[in-house]
Structure 1
Amino acid sequence: MPNNASPVIHIAARCHSSVALMRASLRRFSLLLAGVFLLATCLLLYVSYRLEEAEEVKSLFYIKKAMEAIEDSAGSTVKDYAFWGDAYIHLHREVDTDWAFVRQNAGPTLYADFGFQGVFVVDGADRTVYSVIRGELESVEIADWLGQPIDGVVDQARAAAEYETSVTTVMNVDGMPAVIAAAALTPGTDPTVETDEGPESVIIFINVLDGDELEAIGADYGIRKLRVLAPNEVRSAAILPIGENGSAGTLHWDSENPGKRLLSVMLPMIGMAALIVLLMTWVLLRRTTLAARALDLSHTSLRNSQAALATSEQRFRDVAEASSDWIWEVDAQGRFTYLSERFQEVTGHSRDARIGTGIDELLRTETGTLSQWLRMPKHRPGISTQCSYIDHKGQTRITRLTARDMDGKGFRGTASDVTDEVEARRRIDYLSQHDALTGLPNRTRLQAFLDGKLKAAPTQDSPLVMLCLDLDRFKPVNDLLGHAAGDQVLNEVSGRLAECLRNGDLVARVGGDEFVLILTDVSSQDEVEALCGRLIKSIEQPVVMDEQEVFVSASIGIAMAPTDAREATELLRYADIALYEAKAAGRATWRFYAGDMNVRIIERRQLENDLRYAIKVGELRLHFQPRIRIADGVMMGAEALVRWRHPERGLIPPDTFIPIAEEAGLIAPLSDWVLHTACSSAKRWPEGVFVSVNLSSVEFQRGDVVKRVQNVLRETGFDPARLELELTESVMLEDATGALDVMRALKELGVRLTMDDFGTGYSSLGYLRSFPFDGLKIDRSFVNGLAENEDDKSIIQAIVGLGRALSLTVTAEGIETAEQLELLKAVHCDEGQGYFLSRPLDAEGFDALMASRKLGEQDPVIKFF
């Protein structure tokens, strides 16, 4: 019996002795009840305070998690762009706005798809060299746009480049928090791109969280009116400083105030109870005799009520400690004896129907029955487990259950629905390991899969096979049809790759159009080759979009563990090297990694470094081969031919080092040197003699050819009419519209344009009609067979006639005999060049040749026959 029942029993024992004594006892009883009401009110206030405090902690937890998720997402996104060989080439070595913005590799889609209001690239000198503001290309310093310096973030991003990680921070931008993610631009795992010396450029993504976005974030987590605390706004407990020491501002939100709701319900009830007690006391004072007898009779009832009150208070304290959505209680046999009203609202099940049923019939755990978990060693407050149940709609829901022992009489506790939280975690885990576009595993999932398979120690008889697959002819799909079409092609290819694999194998997307496939339980090399054949055949099937067929192919590089490597990074590198060999072999094929491939890559890189040094220190030399007017032997000009005599390897032919220059990004400085040297040398020649320079199709696509030619003409003071630029048909094949615009701009400078190697392409006639050419050169393959092959003679005669019809100068290359020269003269070919007329000569030899062939000072014409 509770202690506060003793005065009541004492009053009942003396009720017959004296009315006065009864009244005094009633007064003391009233004071005691007043104390009880005061104590209950204080307890209620305390519980309200704890509920408010728990709500604040929960809200703060969700907001912190939301901010962390935003920062993680920004950091992951910037890594995908930073550790990418193409981005390193087009944003670090030089800023190619056509690649980055126009082709949307790092442009408007970052704002439209990911919400980054600011995209910046800061070069090694901490200058902003590329900026996209809300999807628009602008020229603005990042510090000016942010209103504050960002040197610290840039330095941290460069320091993190060694580990291929990004850095994130939160800053205050115009009163709003901005999530800033930065990473240094590196080639990543691309073996064909070498890292330059000097500080890395840093790419920075900025997401300014304005009021609408903050409120949307809060809504996702059940937080009302999430906002930045205004300077004049009253500060409450519901705040979260963000940034370093709150430098990015303070988040504020409206709490649910469960404590206030509890007080609004319970305080009136306590007040009403107090009023009733006062009225009862007044009645008892008026009827002392009857009250004494009634008190005696109600003694037993009072004891039972006090016991129920003690049980209720104990239950209330347990619930307050557990802070739950709904309350439950089971007996020693695990049958429900109590369920709160909230149970029916959350689960949809009837409380009355569940009372008396076993807890295992409703709730299930992954490790065993809930009854077994309850019988584990004593459950202290706070110990919980995760359960699942089927709600009234037949859907599986997840709940977090807490429990405490009732001294062997059963268990009571709380249950909170965490279905949305669990699903959110699963979604975050999935996105962190899968490509957002295709749904295939990404680099993270690939690395984990590889590590697991390599730990299993594959053997020679049961190797682990890696296929590195890159799409051929994919870039024109993006350029001509748009990124939406490119995405559709990638999705279709992803599905086809997955269909070709078996259970237990893996296909991952690791780059724009690059995939990695991991094969297990492969018995022979023939089986791998058969799979490669099926893969290429499947990919080469047309992709139909909007009644248009798109065709792509694939090249595959193959590496095996443990034959080639035992580490994941090495296996990836060797597969990339094999892929490079497959592309060099003509694409749409596959190659297995071999040790000499790595040697060739190293040699090629060394040659690339040597070429870079040769351009820098002037090891290159320019030779000139005369072009003669066939009708009378007058020299009309000379073709400039670059030569490289390596100090150790000797003379290296142009067809060896020109492709290296194109791939290594050295073609522009090499071409600038050739143009400048050729124009400077030709300036000394007689006025009527021109110089012809070849342009690579790779440098022609860069978009700065016109400016570079203009700069050379201005620096050398060379007459544009004496400069001829030779182009191959591949220039038009890559981008006909863009090539036409560049060629028209070059013509406006006053230079001549000639189509080189005419007759070896697919649609040269169409190009001659549409493009502003001044001349064409007949490929040497037709001249070589001129004397023996009547077909070649007819072809040359037709080309000469075509040139005259289109008012083009026709030049024959590779004249090596007098007979060939006479035959060309017979068909009225305009000009010619070749070893029969003159070999290519260095500048001194060419000047000497001109001096020896010059007719005189009064007549500067140079004649060869």
Structure 2
Amino acid sequence: MPEHLPSVVGSGHRRSSVKIIRTSLFKFVGLLTGVFFLAGYLILYLAHDLDRNEETESAFYTNKAVRALEKSISATVKDYAFWGDAYKHLHVKVDTDWAYVRQNVGPTLYSDFGFKGIFVVNSANQTVYSVVEGQLQRVDASSWLKQALPDVLTKARSGADAETPITHFVNIGGRPALVGAAAITPGTDPTVSPDDGLPSVLIFVDILDNFRLETLGKDYGVDALRIATAAELNGGSVFALGENGVAGSLHWEPPKPGERLLGLGLPLIGFAALLVCLMAWAILRRTTASAQALDASYDSLQLSQTALAISEARFRDVAEASSDWIWEIDSQGRFTYLSERFERVTGLARHEWIGVRMDLLLCTELGTVSQWLSIPNRRPDVSVQCRYVDPKGHQHVTRLSARAMADQGFRGTATDVTEEVESRRRIEFLSQHDSLTGLPNRTRLREFLDGKLKTQPTSERPLVMLSLDLDRFKPVNDLLGHAAGDAVLNEISSRLADRVRHGDLVARIGGDEFVLILTDLKGQAEVEMLCQRLIESIERPIQIGEQEVFVSASIGIAMAPADATEATELLRYADIALYEAKSGGRNTWRFYAGDMNSKIVERRRLESDLRFAIKHGELRLHFQPRFRITDGKMVGAEALVRWQHPERGLISPDTFIPIAEETGLILALSNWVMETALRYAASWPDHLFVSVNLSPSEFKRGNLVERVQRALLQSGVEPSRVELEITESVMLDDAPGALEIMRTLKRLGIRIAMDDFGTGYSSLSYLRTFPFDGLKIDRSFLNRLGANDDDRSVIEAIIGLGHALSLTVTAEGIESQEHLEFLKSALCDEGQGYFLSRPLDIDGFCALLRVTVSAVTPGIS
């Protein structure tokens, strides 16, 4: 061979090497370009998918918010329509005084619930009662709603037997409105007998506006919920109200996480592409120069091997830069390649899995990975979720994608989605469980209860529902804080869960309210044993920091099928039984009985009558005189309220005062007592004072200081002639707040006395801290005076304590001459009781004034 031949051949090799390098680099750059385009497409797809998911979730919660609105108006119209009093006063005859003046079905529905329209349509489909925006008017319901009502009336009457109201969206003057309607029936009132004619229909109308919708949307995490405009109807995020949107549509602004992703991802991809282009240009120059400098002795095979090695290195760099790990398997399903990311993501060693079947590592929910790969006509762009266990024993979830290779093997990528799956599970869990205790919530309770009732429990194997409410829980929150309250709730939840069997349910449905659904309890005795164990468990002390907290519980019991077979009725009966347990002294249980419902109806009627009595002058004020023990002179009188009911006669304060405190009527009642007592006292001699009792709830609400100032201004009475009596429970509930109010009252010149002294456990410390002018010894001490000499010493000690603190000491319940003589010897300041004078009405008290102003009381002098 000629000597110059190698030189010629080397030259040819050099030219071939440059061409191969350039071609490979351009291909690689093309591949990277494809990768960047794919990454950009994936980001666009992911952004679109995120926005679509947010849109779907917002639509779901919008639907949930609308359904909650329908449920609220349905429950409200049901409470008023299925009521014996409503049947008598709105169906049998239309009693405007009962409905509107007494506010049973009147303006409070507008002020409290926001119902713009309230209508009653009789059996002849004529509007016989209407209240529009809280004002009594003569308006036809069809005319006001601007549409015919036959369908609504028919559907409402068809639900009369099952006591089922209906809801319906309509459009009133371009604004959507929610109509709730129900047939008026006697409900469970045993005193009312329904007639045979068509029932009247009660209609509530709630007109929706943007402010109301925005507030509703915030409660369900939906931003800017409002009435959709014409321009917004053609876009997304629209929820139709009524059939085909006849009542209008709602629009909201769903979150746009995709836009934030695009704003961050696309610039990064662009920057990376620019960087790769610069690197490719630099590599091209360097590799071209290197190729030209290669020795002519390298043959084409060596050049090809070099190019292949460079290509493999570049591929490896790209593969390891990915967040996923890459895999390949042969036709037998054995791993032939795993990227280095495999070890960082899974914690497993690559070399231990090369040659091992893929099915030993990964499995799907429906079978093996091999079975999934062998599905005929499987789409290559469809992925599958698989599970594997890392070296620490933790289970992970990965999304696997695969494409077939020419040798009947497969290659693909695996993405770890464990956190995503766990987040979705958490969301699903929270939708049916209480976030604080982890117990099932009201939604899960209803599903569980419906499922159990479908099995049709029998009398031998009943389904038992316990409605449980904690006693003495509110002071824990008030005194120790909400963190301590949460700790108590968690501990109680654990104790309740430990006391039930597998397959039963413990749910938390409110602040301190729980419901237990139990099976396999064979009789009332076994239920009572369980209730006793539950209460004993709850009463055990709970350690919160360095303090021990004690709570108790009241339990209401309803059973299926004996009491009810419907979930709603069972829940209601258990609540009624719970109310009876609380009324019976708490820390006990009660089984539901039929007469309990009538008691609640009776209590509701009494509450309605009390509301009417306060406004229409059925209350009466009596005064019980208070006398100075030493000389028998009258020094003042205590104002005592009485209720002269037109049908029931004189009702004791022990009956109606608790109702007033529970329903919030105590403020109106107290205002009447205070203003009336001070008005009468203005005509008394100047040396006589008037004493008025205050409820503890008045210190928590009602602007007590302003109310007292108003009563003083209206009556013209000197503040020094007014005494307010309070019990020590005021200080127990909120000592700092009560102290500030009492100091303000003292600055006005008001006298303050502690009532029922000696019945509490912390009164001594309060006497030194709070600005009291006097204390009243509870009547129980005098009642036991003859039977127990210890009470004589206690009374003397109380009188001595009061004098030491410069307080006026008053004894209550003086019933005999013996009581009076003892109090005089013990140097008690003042006294009142039946022996001195019974409570007197206005005329009787004025007559007593004329006799005793200048005289002394018999028995004292």
- The TM-score bracket by the shorter chain reads 0.5 to 0.7
Name the amino acid aligned to 2:220: S
Q: Distance in 1 between matches of 2:792 and 2:278?
A: 111
Residues 759 and 778 in structure 2, CA contact (< 8 A), matched pair in contact too: yes
Equivalence for 1:675? 674
Q: Distance in 1 between matches of 2:849 and 2:550?
A: 53
Shift of the 541–617 alpha-carbon distance from structure 1 to 2, 3 Å rule, reads: same
DSSP-derived class of the 1:566 partner: coil
Name the amino acid aligned to 2:42: A
Name the amino acid aligned to 2:686: E
Equivalence for 1:622? 621
Equivalence for 1:521? 520
Could you tell me how far 1:48 is from its partner in structure 2? 2.6
Matches within 5 A, 1:247-258: 252-255=263-266, 257=268
Equivalence for 1:169? 223
Q: Distance in 2 between matches of 1:837 and 1:577?
A: 44
Deviations 1:161-185, CA, capped at 9 Å, x for gaps: 9xxx6353169xxxxxxxxxxxxxx
Shift of the 747–373 alpha-carbon distance from structure 1 to 2, 3 Å rule, reads: same
DSSP-derived class of the 1:409 partner: coil
Shift of the 281–726 alpha-carbon distance from structure 1 to 2, 3 Å rule, reads: closer
DSSP-derived class of the 2:452 partner: helix
Shift of the 412–269 alpha-carbon distance from structure 1 to 2, 3 Å rule, reads: same
Could you tell me how far 1:748 is from its partner in structure 2? 2.6
Equivalence for 1:644? 643
**Identity value in percent:** 59
Equivalence for 1:605? 604
Shift of the 837–167 alpha-carbon distance from structure 1 to 2, 3 Å rule, reads: same
Could you tell me how far 1:802 is from its partner in structure 2? 5.7
Could you tell me how far 1:531 is from its partner in structure 2? 1.7
The answer to whether residue 220 in structure 2 is matched with residue 156 in structure 1 is no
Name the amino acid aligned to 1:472: D
The answer to whether residue 61 in structure 2 is matched with residue 50 in structure 1 is no
Residues 48 and 262 in structure 1, CA contact (< 8 A), matched pair in contact too: yes
Residues 329 and 337 in structure 1, CA contact (< 8 A), matched pair in contact too: yes
Could you tell me how far 1:772 is from its partner in structure 2? 3.8
Shift of the 638–407 alpha-carbon distance from structure 1 to 2, 3 Å rule, reads: same
Equivalence for 2:510? 511
The answer to whether residue 364 in structure 2 is matched with residue 378 in structure 1 is no
Q: Distance in 1 between matches of 2:593 and 2:28?
A: 83
Residues 51 and 258 in structure 2, CA contact (< 8 A), matched pair in contact too: no
Residues 625 and 832 in structure 2, CA contact (< 8 A), matched pair in contact too: yes
Residues 222 and 254 in structure 2, CA contact (< 8 A), matched pair in contact too: no
Shift of the 329–767 alpha-carbon distance from structure 1 to 2, 3 Å rule, reads: closer
Shift of the 386–633 alpha-carbon distance from structure 1 to 2, 3 Å rule, reads: same
Name the amino acid aligned to 2:661: E
DSSP-derived class of the 2:413 partner: strand
DSSP-derived class of the 1:253 partner: helix
Q: Distance in 1 between matches of 2:620 and 2:353?
A: 94
Residues 51 and 259 in structure 1, CA contact (< 8 A), matched pair in contact too: no
DSSP-derived class of the 2:223 partner: strand
Matches within 5 A, 1:380-419: 380-391=379-390, 395-404=394-403, 409-419=408-418
Equivalence for 1:592? 591
Name the amino acid aligned to 2:212: D
Range with bigger deviation, 793-802 or 455-464? 793-802
Gaps spanning 5+ residues in structure 1: where? 1-22, 85-121, 126-150, 172-241, 288-293, 303-307, 855-859
Could you tell me how far 1:673 is from its partner in structure 2? 1.6
Residues 777 and 813 in structure 1, CA contact (< 8 A), matched pair in contact too: yes
TM-score by length of 2: 0.66
Could you tell me how far 1:693 is from its partner in structure 2? 0.9
Name the amino acid aligned to 1:57: Y
Could you tell me how far 1:638 is from its partner in structure 2? 1.9
Matches within 5 A, 1:273-288: none
Shift of the 255–446 alpha-carbon distance from structure 1 to 2, 3 Å rule, reads: farther
Equivalence for 1:692? 691
Q: Distance in 2 between matches of 1:381 and 1:782?
A: 91
Q: Distance in 2 between matches of 1:677 and 1:442?
A: 49
Equivalence for 2:495? 496
Residues 477 and 485 in structure 1, CA contact (< 8 A), matched pair in contact too: yes
TM-score by length of 1: 0.65
Q: Distance in 2 between matches of 1:261 and 1:802?
A: 87
Q: Distance in 1 between matches of 2:543 and 2:19?
A: 89
Equivalence for 1:559? 558
Equivalence for 2:463? 464
Residues 623 and 640 in structure 2, CA contact (< 8 A), matched pair in contact too: yes
Residues 787 and 820 in structure 1, CA contact (< 8 A), matched pair in contact too: no
Residues 756 and 779 in structure 1, CA contact (< 8 A), matched pair in contact too: yes
Matches within 5 A, 1:167-316: 168-169=222-223, 243=253, 252-255=263-266, 257=268, 261=272
Matches within 5 A, 1:102-181: 154-156=211-213, 166=220, 168-169=222-223
Equivalence for 1:363? 362
Q: Distance in 2 between matches of 1:477 and 1:263?
A: 64
Q: Distance in 2 between matches of 1:419 and 1:248?
A: 21
Work out the number of aligned pairs and report it: 677
Q: Distance in 1 between matches of 2:470 and 2:340?
A: 61
Residues 37 and 274 in structure 1, CA contact (< 8 A), matched pair in contact too: no
Residues 379 and 405 in structure 1, CA contact (< 8 A), matched pair in contact too: no
Could you tell me how far 1:379 is from its partner in structure 2? 0.5
Name the amino acid aligned to 1:745: T
Q: Distance in 2 between matches of 1:536 and 1:33?
A: 84
Gaps spanning 5+ residues in structure 2: where? 1-11, 73-110, 115-207, 226-251
Shift of the 743–523 alpha-carbon distance from structure 1 to 2, 3 Å rule, reads: same
Q: Distance in 2 between matches of 1:511 and 1:419?
A: 33
Shift of the 333–800 alpha-carbon distance from structure 1 to 2, 3 Å rule, reads: closer
Shift of the 608–744 alpha-carbon distance from structure 1 to 2, 3 Å rule, reads: same
Q: Distance in 1 between matches of 2:279 and 2:765?
A: 93
DSSP-derived class of the 2:502 partner: coil
Residues 47 and 258 in structure 2, CA contact (< 8 A), matched pair in contact too: no
Name the amino acid aligned to 1:387: C
DSSP-derived class of the 2:470 partner: strand
Residues 850 and 862 in structure 1, CA contact (< 8 A), matched pair in contact too: no
